[in-house]
A and B are shown apart, each in its own frame.
Chain A
Amino acid sequence: MNTILYIIQKEFRQIFRNKGMLPIIFILPLLQLLILSNAATFEIKNIKFSYIDNDKTSLSRVLIEKFDASTYFHVMTDFPSIKAANVAMSKGEVDVILEIPRNFERDLSNQKDTDLSITINAIDGAAAGVQSVYINQIVQSFNKKVKVSLLPPSDAINIPKDIVTIPSFWYNNTLNYKTFMVPGILVLLVTMITLFLSGMNIVREKEIGTLEQMNVTPIKKYQFIIGKLFPFWIIGFVLLTIGLIIAKVVFNTPMIGSLGLIYFYTAIYLLVILGMGLFISNFTDTQQQAMFIAWFFIVIFILMSGLFTPIESMPYWAQILTEFNPIKYFVEIMRMVMLKGSSFIDILPLLIKTIIYAVIMNGLAVWSYKKTN
């Protein structure tokens, strides 16, 4: 016990003496949290909108004004012809072209169908999808208005009532992306820092030769491993705490569930990550190698965590792969507990999976750590 405590003390000393690492451990992740949470939003604003009004009537102007009034669209140009508009699109000057046909007002007044032509720059497919939804919403609301104003009053009684859907967004009713992103990004940062640090730590002893010196001492495998990894377990908690404070103070993220539950889950989750770090360091000889391997896994974990793309939309095999992604579990738990207020029973299935993961990962890591070759 004494030995473990002394190793832990030694590790902390070394961490706090490393003037280069300290800011990397504590300041950079929090800067990332602040920057990423503000930047990583799926809302699309300031869409560069242009139109060709072939009709030039009061009705066509109403439609354009509707776009202008929307905060999503930045109405800029009115092109004389579709050709000119296409040139502007190819230069990247506009994102959306709306073409209003000739006789737009007349056809609508005469109860005839009329078509609007919309061209969207779809280089960024996801953004184009969102833009298309926005445009449809505007056109639909315009449609309703037109029906009411253009139909003669006698007919107005007979028009069938439209079915209107009013979505109610639970757990994040203002659809605030920050609410959604902050817990997820916090998870990424905690995972990244603890994995990188623990992965590099034992390799560092290999690199500077102290591991060999340690290996000829009677120190037990478990004492050494616990002593080496415990400080990073603590650092994980410190990062989580600072991150949660920022989430509350800066982003005002709701924290409905119990913080104790989050900490309890983190305690187990960090074991998975530390085991992974140890495992990586057992199979590498330099910090550089360890860093590259850790980075490789982190990138996969992040992209397949459901944070940036929903897991439900991944192909089936990829969905199975995400079962091995610890970040996925943590992101889910954080959102469940913080935004939904889930209880211990709700997270139990994920918790059990995490525990199994931790046992397997650490088992592998300890098994592959050898004092002798």
Chain B
Amino acid sequence: MSISVKNISKSFKTVNAVKDVSFEVKEGELFGLIGPDGAGKTTIFRILTTLLFADKGTATVAGFDVIEDYKEIRNNVGYMPGRFSLYQDLTVEENLTFFATIFGTTIEENYDLIKDIYVQIEPFKKRRAGQLSGGMKQKLALSCALIHKPKVLFLDEPTTGVDPVSRKEFWEMLKRLQQKGITILVSTPYMDEAALCDRIALIQDGKILQIDDPQEIVKHFPTTIYDIKADNIYKLLLALKEYKHSYSVYPFGEFVHYTDKRDAIDTKELTLFLKDKGLNNIIIQPTETTIEDTFMELAK
């Protein structure tokens, strides 16, 4: 096991940030911690990267205990905090050289590992990190986290605040890194990114709701979800909530995701009901369950 977390709890003054969390990450796995802001993702990261002591429970990273062997862990993991935390007043190249030196290595030594990522920012290597765009900052931070060839890579919300194209590129980079044998633990509030992980843990309020691979998690969803659309989404939401067979209703992109208490819905009846409520251009169609649907169901 590359990462093993057993019954970890951590509370800050009045908040129980993490409650009895356990999970394991296999070697070479891309594991996602999926949950909204404030779910406890960052706290778990900080415990695993030896920045924080857990109140209860044990954890090992790359075979090292997070408390007893913290020095070994610091040599073997790469950590990219959620907030950009490189030196903004140093250039791209200086930042990378600095972190290489701190880890007792050089850029040349591990260049093959970061090459894919670094070539994209190399044209700007004389530019100060503070003047890079969001996507480039991300690439630089990833390069810095990888420069010492870590066994385990921790990425805390790496794509928050990054544009969709850069996000997609970023995940492609992660896939390639995974092929090089690096275990990756990544957290994200974006449910669509969860499908890209090998396995995910859905987390809310410091508790893990479910751990499985994304396909399995979706399969567990108990019933069919319908995409419903009408000319007035807000009225539609209210109307559906009033509908007597309604089980769950929430907006999802341009549609409203609707589940029924019954196994199958009567489309005609529902259409009539909605028309009665003054809605027009009604579309009702079954849709594929996504991780977000599962999360909404579990978090209920």
Are A and B bound to each other?
yes
The residues of A with any CB-CB pair to B shorter than 8 Å are 2-3, 6-7, 10, 13-14, 17-18, 208-210, 212-219, 371-373
**Contacts A218-B75, A372-B52; A210 near B87 (Cβ below 8 A):** yes
29 residue pairs bridging A and B, Cβ less than 8 Å apart: A3-B101, A6-B101, A7-B102, A10-B94, A13-B94, A14-B89, A14-B90, A18-B89, A208-B85, A208-B87, A208-B88, A209-B81, A209-B84, A210-B87, A212-B81, A213-B79, A213-B85, A213-B144, A214-B102, A216-B49, A216-B50, A216-B74, A217-B74, A217-B99, A217-B102, A218-B71, A218-B104, A372-B50, A372-B51
The residues of B with any CB-CB pair to A shorter than 8 Å are 49-53, 70-71, 74-75, 77, 79, 81, 83-90, 94, 98-99, 101-104, 144
**Chain A proximity of B97: nearest CB distance (Å):** 8
Closest chain A residue to B53 by CB distance? A372
Give the distance in Å from the alpha carbon of A213 to the alpha carbon of B87 in the complex.
10
Give the distance in Å from the alpha carbon of A217 to the alpha carbon of B89 in the complex.
20
Give the distance in Å from the alpha carbon of A3 to the alpha carbon of B97 in the complex.
11
DSSP majority for the A interface? Answer: helix
Residue from A3, A13, A14, A210 within 8 A of B86 (CB atoms):
A210
Residues of chain A contacted by B87 (CB below 8 angstroms): 10, 14, 208, 210
Q: How many A-B contacts at CB < 8 Å in the complex?
A: 67
Closest chain A residue to B88 by CB distance? A208
- The 3 A-B pairs at the shortest CB distance, nearest first, are namely A209-B85, A6-B101, A216-B79
> Residue among B53, B101, B103, B104 with the most chain A CB within 10 A?
B101
**Contacts A218-B74, A372-B50; A212 near B85 (Cβ below 8 A):** yes
Give the distance in Å from the alpha carbon of A209 to the alpha carbon of B141 in the complex.
13
Give the distance in Å from the alpha carbon of A217 to the alpha carbon of B101 in the complex.
11
Residues of chain B contacted by A216 (CB below 8 angstroms): 49-51, 74, 77, 79
**Contacts A14-B89, A210-B87; A219 near B49 (Cβ below 8 A):** no
**Chain A proximity of B11: nearest CB distance (Å):** 13
Q: Assess the A2–B81 pair: CB atoms within 8 A.
A: no
**Chain B proximity of A10: nearest CB distance (Å):** 6
Give the distance in Å from the alpha carbon of A7 to the alpha carbon of B89 in the complex.
14
Residues of chain A contacted by B86 (CB below 8 angstroms): 210, 213
Closest chain B residue to A227 by CB distance? B102
Give the distance in Å from the alpha carbon of A210 to the alpha carbon of B85 in the complex.
5
Residues of chain A contacted by B85 (CB below 8 angstroms): 208-210, 212-213
Residues of chain B contacted by A210 (CB below 8 angstroms): 85-87
**Chain A proximity of B208: nearest CB distance (Å):** 24
> Residue among B85, B88, B99 with the most chain A CB within 10 A?
B85
**Chain B proximity of A17: nearest CB distance (Å):** 5
Residue from A3, A13, A14, A373 within 8 A of B104 (CB atoms):
A3
Q: Assess the A373–B53 pair: CB atoms within 8 A.
A: yes
> Residue among B77, B89, B90, B103 with the most chain A CB within 10 A?
B89
**Chain B proximity of A323: nearest CB distance (Å):** 39
Give the distance in Å from the alpha carbon of A212 to the alpha carbon of B51 in the complex.
8
Known: A3-B102, A217-B74. 6 other contacts (CB 8 A): A7-B102, A208-B88, A209-B83, A212-B51, A214-B102, A218-B103
Residues of chain A contacted by B89 (CB below 8 angstroms): 13-14, 17-18
Residues of chain B contacted by A218 (CB below 8 angstroms): 71, 74-75, 102-104
Closest chain A residue to B77 by CB distance? A216
Give the distance in Å from the alpha carbon of A372 to the alpha carbon of B52 in the complex.
6
Residues of chain B contacted by A209 (CB below 8 angstroms): 81, 83-85
Q: Assess the A217–B103 pair: CB atoms within 8 A.
A: yes
**Chain B proximity of A216: nearest CB distance (Å):** 5
Give the distance in Å from the alpha carbon of A216 to the alpha carbon of B98 in the complex.
14
Q: Assess the A2–B101 pair: CB atoms within 8 A.
A: yes
> Residue among B50, B86, B87, B90 with the most chain A CB within 10 A?
B87
**Chain B proximity of A161: nearest CB distance (Å):** 76
Closest chain A residue to B97 by CB distance? A6
